[in-house]
Structure formats: C-alpha cells, structure tokens
Amino acid sequence: MIVLAGPSGSGKSRLAERLGLPILRLDDFYRDGDDPLLPRITTGANAGLVDWDDPRSWLQDEAVEALATLCRTGTVETPVYEIAANGRTGWQDLTLSGSPLVVAEGIFAHHVVAPLRAAGLLAAAYCLRQHPLVTFWRRLTRDLREHRKPPLVLLRRGVALMRDQRRIVAEAVSAGCTPVTSDEAYRLVQTHSVS
C-alpha cells in the first residue's frame, strides 16, 4: 500500500492518477451529510457548519477494513461519495488486477498509516507539500468548478486551511509520512514499483 496524504488541494488525486496504479479514494469514506455524529465548526464565520476537515467526519475503521480486504483478496467494494450530493451515491468494485501496489489517498490518509504498518501492508507513506498559496488556489478553483459548497464558504474555509497547512503537514509527518513534493513522490513510488 502506498499512502498519499497532505492538505486538501495538495495534488494527491492528480499524483495518484499519474502513477497508474489502482486507487482507493479514502475521501469516499466520509459520513453522509445527515449523519448526527458529524462534528460542527464552533467558532468563526463558518460556525455551525459541518467540519469536513475534522477526522470525526470520516469513517476510519471502514476505510482501513476496505484496504485490508483489498490487500488480502485482491478486490473490494467501496462507496462512491459525491461532495456536492453530501453523501454516498453508490458503490464500485476495486481490484488490484495483478498490481503489486495500490494507492490510498485522501486528506485523512495519515490516519491509516499506523494500522497498515501494524498489519504489514504499508509499502510507503508520503505527505505532499507545496507553498500554501498554491494549495489554496488549487483547492479553491477545484471546489468552485465542482460546486462543492457555496463560494463564500469555500473562500472562508480555504483561508482557514491555508493558515493551518503547516500543522496539517506536521501531523502527517508525525504519523509516519515522509514530506515530499509531488514529483519527488512520483519518483519514489516508481522505485517501489520496480523493486
């Protein structure tokens, strides 16, 4: 398992596609928008809204079980989550198709590093990093293009995440991820693929 962690907008999905390996998108394991256990933002301009950047908004145990099943059996059924729809919209089958590696990527990816390592399933874990302004711009343009939330919410959330980016990267590093650029991660994964 290759884990790609990093702030929202850091290029995880783009890199995962570029690698050409099977991809398990950890963001598909978000709770549905009507789940009463969703955490809420308690202060600031977005107070009262769901805090989608809080790991409690995500089903870690379900994601780890899917990863373990995929590695153990070579196939797993995963949810399809649509942010604009605020929930799961279906299911899809993911298979390894003979690949020795699979990529797990998402904003909470660093939370699966320890369980995967303990199970002997972790090949490598990387945290993508870049300048906070680049991350902010990529995230904002993507979220606006996909109509993920109202523009003012996206702008406010983006500014808050930009200010918090160093902490997010530091948290991933302390969880066992190596901080790298997208190009560095690409080269390192290619090394794993041929070894």
Q: Which CATH architecture has domain 2-188?
A: 3-Layer(aba) Sandwich (3.40)
Give this prediction's pTM: 0.86
Determine the distance from the C-alpha atom of residue 3 to the mean position of all C-alpha atoms in its chain, rounded to a whole number: 9
Q: Band the pLDDT of 22: cuts 50, 70, 90.
A: very high
What b/e string do you get for 68-100 counting C-beta neighbours within 10 Å, with b at 16 or more? bebbeeeebebbebeeeeeebeeeeebebeeee
Cα 137 to Cα 112: distance, rounded to the nearest angstrom: 27
162 φ/ψ angles, rounded to the nearest 5 degrees: -65, -45
Q: What average pLDDT score do residues 39-59 get?
A: 87
Percent of the chain residues topping a pLDDT of 70: 98
Question: How many C-beta neighbours within 10 Å does residue 66 have?
Answer: 22
Sequence spans of domains, the chain: 2-188
99 φ/ψ angles, rounded to the nearest 5 degrees: -70, 135
Residue-level pLDDT at 193: 65
Residue-level pLDDT at 121: 95
Residue-level pLDDT at 29: 96
Cα separations in angstroms, 156 against 45, 57, 120, 147: 7, 19, 40, 15
Residue-level pLDDT at 159: 80
Residue-level pLDDT at 194: 54
* For residue 102, pLDDT beyond 90: yes
Residue-level pLDDT at 195: 53
* For residue 37, pLDDT beyond 70: yes
